[in-house]
Structure 1
Amino acid sequence: MYKVFQYSTKRLCYSSTGTWNSYEYLPMGYVSDTLTKEGWYFSIVHNGSWHWEIGDSRDQLYLQLSGPTEVENHWYRELLPGESFESVHAAIAMTTESFEDAVAQMMVWRRTMRRKNADNEKLPIIFNDFMNCLGGDPSEEKEYPLIDAAAEIGCEYFTIDAGWYARGSWWSRVGEWEPAKERWPNGIHKVLSYIREKGMIPGLWLEIEVMGIHCPIANQLPDDWFFMRHGKRVIDHGRYQLDFRNPAVREFADGVIRRLVEEYGAGYIKMDYNINAGIGTQRAADSAGDGLLSHNRAYLEWLDHIFIIYPDLIIENCGSGGMRINDALLTRHSIQSSSDQTEYTAYAAISAAAPAAVTPEQNAVWSYPLFDADLEQTAFNMVNAMTMRIHQSGHLARLAAENKVLIKEALDYYKGCRHLIGSSFPFWPLGMPAFDDKRFSLGFYNEECAHLALWRVEDEGDCVIIPLDGCKKKIREVRLVYPKDLPCSWEYRKKENCLAVSQPAKSARLFQIIYA
C-alpha cells in the first residue's frame, strides 16, 4: 500500500526582537502531548532577541529553539576561515507527569546554575519608595518619615527609587548619576547613613544602560558609545542606548557603581531599564542583530565583573517591572521585579503565575497599600507577596495604625518561614491563573510543610473547594496563618484531601499545611 506523507508548511512561531525581550512573551514555554502526557518545558537562556517555533515535518513534530535569526530578528554574522560561533543556550525539562513536575525540574536547574549568593538564602524584606508612594519624586524631607515607618514595621533594606539624581523633570536628562542638590541639601550620603542608623541597608535606583538625549554629557561623547543605525544614534523614549561592547562604556559604568557603593554607601541597586533599543546596532557588526547579540553578551560579562568586585551587593533585575525576565540575567541577579502593575487586585494573578518562570526566592512582588486602604485591601497586598520576595511600598507614614499592625503581622510571619522558600516548589490547585480569573490559588511545598495562598477577586459567593494533592505528602491539619483576625471560615476535609474556604469579596488568605 502506498503511503502519502501529509504535512504543512505552517509554523506556530513566537519571537522577540530587541532589548526588552519579555515584553510580549517570556523566552520560555511548555509544549505537551495530551495523549501521552509527555511535556517539554524550555527556556532560551538569552537576554536579547529570540525565536522559537513548532511545526510538522513529514510524520513528526519538531520544536526549534533559537537566539536571534536573520528572518525574524535581523541577525547575520559572516565567519571567516578559522572563526567559530557559539549559539545562545537553552534548557529543557522533560516530564511524563504534569506541567508542575516540569516547573519543579526547571526550578532545580535554575537553583543549580545561578550565581551563589547570600540574598537568596536570607531573603531580606525590601522597602522601595516608588510604587503608590513617592513615584520618582524623592527628597530628604519626604524620606525621613518613610525610613522611620519602614524600620518600625521590620523592613531590612530601604531603596530610594528614581529621581534622586535630578531636579524637576528628569526622564531625558538621566546619565550622570550624581545626586541633585535641590533634593538632598545636606548630601544624599546623610540620608543613606540615617537608613543604616535605623538598622536597614540603603539602596538606590539606577538605569546604567541608557543616557538621556538631554543629558549634559551625551553630546560630549563619541558615537561609538551608543547604538547606531543608518549613521545616527538610536533613540527610544527620549534615551540613547549605551553599547557595552565599548570598553570605555564599561569603565564608565564601573565608576558609577563604585560611586554609589563606596561613596554613597548603597548596598542595593535597583537596576531598571525602560526602553527597547530595537533590532540592534550596525556599528562594527555584520548586522544590527549581531551588534545587539554582542552587546547582550558584553553586558552579562560586565555584570559578572561587578559581582566579583562586590559579591555582597544586591542588584535587582528590573525592566519597567518584568520586561526582561530571562534565565541569562537570572543566573546573575538574585532578585527579579515581577511587574510594575499598580492595581493590587490585578497584580494577584501575576504574582500567582510568576513562579512558573522565576524561582520564588528571586521573584519580587510589590505590596503597596494606599494610605486610605482598609484592612482587607492591606491584607490582600501582603498575601500577594508573602510566599516569595516582599517589595514593601505605599505611604507607610500615612497609613492608619491598624493597617501598619496588619503589615507587621505579615512581615513577622514571613521572617519565621522565609528560610523554607528557597527549597519550595509551586503547585496550582485551581489551575494556572489567567489575568481575568476571579478565584485562584498558589501553593508551595517543601520537606517541612506547605503554604497556600487563596485569592477571591470577585464579589462574595459560594465557598471554593481546593484540592491539596499538590502538597505531595499526607496532611495532618490546615491553619489560617494570615490575616488571623479578618473574617474567614475553612474546613480541611481529610477524606477528599481538600480545603473548603469561604472568604469575603476582594480578599486574600494564606494557609499553612501541616504534614502528618
Structure 2
Amino acid sequence: MSGEPTVIRWGANGAELTLEIVPDGPVHVAGIGAREGKPGRSTTGVPLVELGLLGEGRVGSGGSAGHRNQAATGRLRYVSHETTESGRHLEIVQRDPTSGIRVTTFVEQFDDISALRMWNDVCNEGEVAQTVVYSSTLVLTGFVNEGSFADRLQVLLARNAWSAELRWQRLDLNQAGLVSYAETPGRGSTQGRFALSGVGSWSTGDYLPMGALIDGVEGQTWLWQVEHNGPWHWELVDLGPDLVLVASGPTDQEHQWRKILVPGETFTTVATSLAVSGGGFEGAVAELTAYRRAIRRVNPDNERLPVIFNDYMNCLFGDPSTEKELPLIAAAQKAGAEYFVIDAGWYADDEGWWDTVGAWEPSTTRFPDGLASLLDQVRAAGMVPGLWVEPEVVGIRSAVADQLPDEAFFMRGGRRAEEKGRYHLDYRHPAVIAHMDGVIDRLVGELGVGYFKFDYNVNIGVGTEVDADAPGDGLLGHNRAFLAWLDGLFVRHPSLVIENCSSGGMRTDYAQLARLSIHSTSDQTDPVRYASIAAASPTGVTPEQAAVWAYPQPDYDNELNAFCMVNAMLGRVHLSGRIDLMSSRQLGRVRAALNAYKSIRSQIRTSVPRWPLGLPGWYDPWVALALDDGEDTLLAVWRRGGLDRCHLKLPWLAGLPSTVQVLYPTDLPTTASWDRSTGVLRLTLPPAPSARLLRVRRR
C-alpha cells in the first residue's frame, strides 16, 4: 500500500469505530463514539493490536512497564477486512512477515445497543514455534477531540473486597498519575501508565474487571469490562494530549502467562466489551446493561425472578440438620419463597468439614431419614430444592484426593498446590469432568435438585504447571475448561438454575455471568453496610442477576427488618435469617415485602439503573438506587445516619405527570413531597437505620 491512510468507519448506535489502514505500519485505531458528528481526534501511531513475542521486547525510547510499542506490533501489516451482511461483525486481518504471526481482530455489535465486543485470534503461520507473552484484546484512543485529557477526562474504577464489594472511585488523571507531555496529536509520552490487574483465580478479588473514562466537558463516557473468570489487565497511557486504553487477559509480566504457538496453532484472547454514551456514567451503564442482557444465556430464571430462601447467612451458617431445616421450610413457605437452598454442611457429619469436601455425598448424621426425604418436604411445600457445592476444590482430607491422579489437580514445583486445606481441580483433565458430571447428575437425578449455589472460596494464585507453557497458561486453560463444563451442564439439565458465588462477589465477571443466571453480590452480614453494595450492584451485574441477602431477625425492630428487606428488593431476593423464630406478625411483614417484590419483579428485568444521590459511598449516610423501565421508576432509599431528610434528583421525570407511591413498608411513617416541575423528591424517614421502596409512576 502507498499514499494516505485509508479510513474505515464501522459500527452504529453511537459506538462507531474509526480505523486507519496505513501504508507502512500496522492498522491504527483513531477512536470510538460519535460526538454530535465530531469524531475523536486521530492519533496516528496507535496500533489496533499490541502483540509481544518472547525475547523481542519493546522498541523506541523510554523504559515504561506498559504494554505498548512491542516490536512485533510494529511489524504487523494490513491483509484484509470484511463485514458480515448484517453489518454487525467486523474482521481485520494483519500479519507479521518476520515471525509469520497472523492476527485477526473480531469486533461484534448488537442491534440498538451502543456497545461493542472485541477479541483477537493469534495464529502462527510461520515455520518455527513462537512464544506469545502479550496479546491485547482491545486498544482504543481518540477520547479527546479538543484540548488535553488533563483538562477533560476523569477515570472511574471499582474497588472490590470480601464483604466490601463494588466501591467506585473517581480520579482526575493527575491523581491517577497521568500528565500531558505534549499538545500535538501522536507526539510525546511520559511513558507513564495507570494500570489495574486482576491477580490469581479470583477475577474480582481486588477490583472489578471494569473501568470508565468520562469527558467532564461533554459527558461522553467510555465504560469497559474484561470478560474473563481469571486474571486480566488494563492500563491507560498518555500520548500527547490524548490517552490510550489497552486491555487484555493474563500477561507474562503481571500473571506469569505465556503461550507457545507451534506452526499452525491459534490462540484466542479473552474478550473485552465497551459501551459508549453521551449521557455520562449512568448512560454508559444503561448501554452496558442492555449489552449484558444481549450476551447472556436465555433462561426462565431471569424472566421470572423467583424468590430464594437460603439457610446460610445470619441463619444456620453451614450447620444444617433435619431438625433445624423443617421449621425453616415451613416459615419460608409462609413467607412466599419459591426456592429453598440448603447451603454448606449438608455433606458433612460434623462441623470440621472444610478440608474434607469433594465427594458431595449427603450426611446421614445430619439427616437421619435421608436428605432425599428432607428435599421431598421442600417440594411438598411448593418450593424447588437447592444445594451448595464448591465444584473446583477437593479437601486435603477427602477420599477424592486419593482417587484422582496428581495431573487432575493444580501442580507447582512437582507437588499439588494447596490453599487453605484444599487442592484445586484442573477441569482440563477428563477425570475431573467425569467426577463432577457424576456428582451433579446424581444430585439432580436422585435427589431432584433444581438449584445449585456454586461457591469458590480460595484464590489458588498464578496457576498450574501441568500441561502448560507457564502457570498462567494453565490457569487460563482451566478457566476456559470450567466454562465449557458449565455449558455442558445446561445442555444436560436445561432447567437447572446455578448461582455464581465466590466468597460473595470475588468473581463478578461476565465470562461466568453470561452463563449463570444469578450472582451472589456479597457475604456482608451487616444489613446497614450491605445497603451501599446493593445500591451499586447494577454497575457490575444486571439487576435481575444481582442476588442480595435479606436476613430479617426476630430480635430486630420493624425498621431494621424493613431495611433488610429493602436491600434486596431491586435485585434478586436471597431470603435468610431466623424467620422460623419470628412471630406471626413479624413473618407477615416479611411476606408483605415479598408480595411487593413479586408485584414489581417483571419490571426489574427490563429496567436500567440510575443513582439519584450519585454512586454510593461506603460511609454515605443516605444511599439510593433507582430502576427505570420507561414507564415507572422504582426507587430504594436507605437512611444510615445524618439528617432525617434528603432530596432525590430524578431529572428524567421532570415535567412529566406522575405520582409517588410507597410500596414497602406501608405501615411505617414516610413523608414524601414530589416536585414534578423539577423532578425532585423530598423524603423524610425515621431515625436510622430505615429504608423504603417507592414507585414513581408516569400517568
Q: Which moved more, 1:267-276 or 1:49-58?
A: 49-58
Q: In structure 2, give the amino acid aligned to 1:270.
A: K
Q: What's the counterpart of residue 604 of structure 2?
A: 421
Q: In structure 1, what is the Cα distance between the partners aligned to 2:310 and 2:547?
A: 11
**Alpha-carbon distance in 2 for matches of 1:475, 1:52:** 45
Give matches, 1:416-495, under 5 Å: 416-459=599-642, 461-471=643-653, 474-495=656-677
Q: Distance in 2 between matches of 1:258 and 1:473?
A: 56
The equivalent position to 2:321 in structure 1, one of 139, 142, 159, is 139
Give the letter for the 1:186 counterpart. Answer: D
Secondary structure of 1:329's counterpart equals coil
Q: CA deviation at 1:82?
A: 1.2
**Partner residue in 2 for 1:368:** 551
Quote the sequence identity (%). Answer: 47
- 2:494 corresponds in structure 1 to 311
Distance 1:475 1:513 in 2: 10
Give me the whole-angstrom Cα distance separating, in 1, the residues matched to 2:399 and 2:298. Answer: 39
| 1:3/1:387 CA distance change after superposition, 3 Å | closer
The SS at the match of 2:673 is strand
Counterpart of 2:375 in 1: which secondary structure? helix
What do the CA deviations read for 1:368-396 (whole angstroms, capped 9, x no partner)? 02331110111001100011100000011
- CA separation in 1, counterparts of 2:631 and 2:216? 33
CA distance in 2, matches of 1:401, 1:187: 30
Is 1:72 the counterpart of 2:261? The answer is: no
Name the structure 2 match of 1:325. Answer: 508
| Matched residue, 1:103 | 285
1:32 maps to: 214
Counterpart pick for 2:482 among 273, 293, 299: 299
Residue equivalent to 2:419: 236
Greater percentage in strand? 2
**Match of 1:327, SS?**
coil
CA contact (8 A) 1:26 1:325 kept: yes
Amino acid at match of 2:229: N
Among 260, 267, 272, which residue is 2:455 paired with?
272
Change (3 A) 1:184 1:513: same
How many residue pairs end up in the alignment? 514
Question: 1:36 & 1:348 partners in 2: Cα distance?
Answer: 31
How big is each residue's C-alpha offset from its partner over 1:203-225, in whole Å with a ceiling of 9 and x where there is no partner? Answer: 00000110001112212321011
Partner amino acid for 1:405?
A: G
- Equivalent residue letter for 2:195: C
Deviation at 1:172, TM superposition (A): 0.4
Q: 1:471 to 1:392 in 2, by over 3 A?
A: farther
> Is the contact made by 1:475 and 1:513 (CA closer than 8 Å) also made in structure 2?
no
Q: Could you say what secondary structure the match of 1:501 adopts?
A: strand
* One-letter code aligned to 1:306: L
Q: Distance in 1 between matches of 2:214 and 2:605?
A: 28
Equivalent residue, structure 2, for 1:349: 532
Q: Distance in 1 between matches of 2:592 and 2:229?
A: 38
Give the superposition deviation at 1:462.
Answer: 4.2
Distance 1:407 1:391, change over 3 A: same
User: In structure 2, what is the Cα distance between the partners aligned to 1:32 and 1:98?
Assistant: 7
Tell me, yes or no, if structure 1 residue 411 matches structure 2 residue 587: no
Give the Cα separation in 2 of the matches to 1:23 and 1:473.
44
Letter in 1 for 2:427: F
Q: Report which structure shows greater RCO (CA 8 Å, sep ≥6).
A: 1
| SS across alignment from 2:443 | helix
Q: Distance in 1 between matches of 2:654 and 2:680?
A: 13
Cα distance, 1:511 vs structure 2: 0.7
- Which position in structure 1 is the counterpart of 2:300? 118
55-64 vs 323-332, greater mean Cα deviation: 55-64
Q: CA deviation at 1:90?
A: 0.7
When residues 473 and 105 of structure 1 are mapped into structure 2, their CA distance, relative to the original with a 3 A threshold, is farther
Identify unmatched segments of 5+ residues in structure 2.
Answer: 1-181
Structure 2 SS opposite 1:30? strand
Higher-Rg member (1/2): 2
User: Is the 2:655–2:679 contact (alpha carbons within 8 Å) kept by the matching residues of 1?
Assistant: no
Q: 1:190 aligns with which of 362, 369, 373?
A: 373
Q: What are the within-5 Å matches in structure 2 for residues 14-33 of structure 1?
A: 14-33=196-215
Decide whether the 8 Å contact of 1:445 with 1:471 is kept in 2.
no
| Equivalent residue, structure 2, for 1:90 | 272
Q: Aligned Cα RMSD in Å?
A: 1.4
Contact 2:656 2:676 in 1 (8 A): no
- Cα distance in 2, alignment partners of residues 258 and 357 from structure 1: 31
Letter in 1 for 2:368: P
Q: Which amino acid aligns with 1:9?
A: Q
Higher helix share: 1
Q: Does 1:284 align with 2:470?
A: no
For residues 368 and 574 of structure 2, the distance between their equivalents in structure 1, rounded to whole angstroms, comes to 28
- Matched to 2:226, the amino acid is I
Does 1:220 pair with 2:370? no
**Partner residue in 2 for 1:11:** 193
In structure 1, stretches of 5+ residues that fail to align are none
Task: Report the Cα distance in structure 2 between the residues aligned to 1:6 and 1:242, rounded to whole angstroms.
Answer: 48
SS in 2 for 1:85: strand
Q: How far, CA to CA, are the matches of 1:488 and 1:416 in structure 2?
A: 20
- Comparing 59-68 with 195-204, greater Cα deviation is found at 59-68
1:92-117: CA deviations, max 9, x gaps?
00112211110011111111111010
For residue 191 of structure 1, give the secondary structure of its aligned residue in structure 2. helix
Distance across 1 between alignment mates of 2:527 and 2:609: 21
How far off is 1:475 after superposition? 3.9
Q: CA deviation at 1:6?
A: 4.4
Residues 148-186 of structure 1 deviation map (CA, whole Å, 9 limit, x = unaligned): 000011100000000000111100000010011100111
- 2:568 is aligned to 385
Shift of 1:19: 1.2
CA pair 400-239 structure 1, distance change in 2 beyond 3 A: same
Q: Is the 2:387–2:452 contact (alpha carbons within 8 Å) kept by the matching residues of 1?
A: yes
Structure 2 distance, partners of 1:32, 1:402, is: 49
Q: Work out the CA distance in 1 between the residues paired with 2:617 and 2:249.
A: 28
For 1:38 and 1:418, locate their aligned partners in 2 and report how far apart those are by CA, in whole Å: 31
Q: Which amino acid aligns with 1:349?
A: S
> Whole-Å Cα distance in 1 between the matches of residues 398 and 644 of structure 2?
57
TM-score computed with the length of structure 1 as normaliser: 0.98
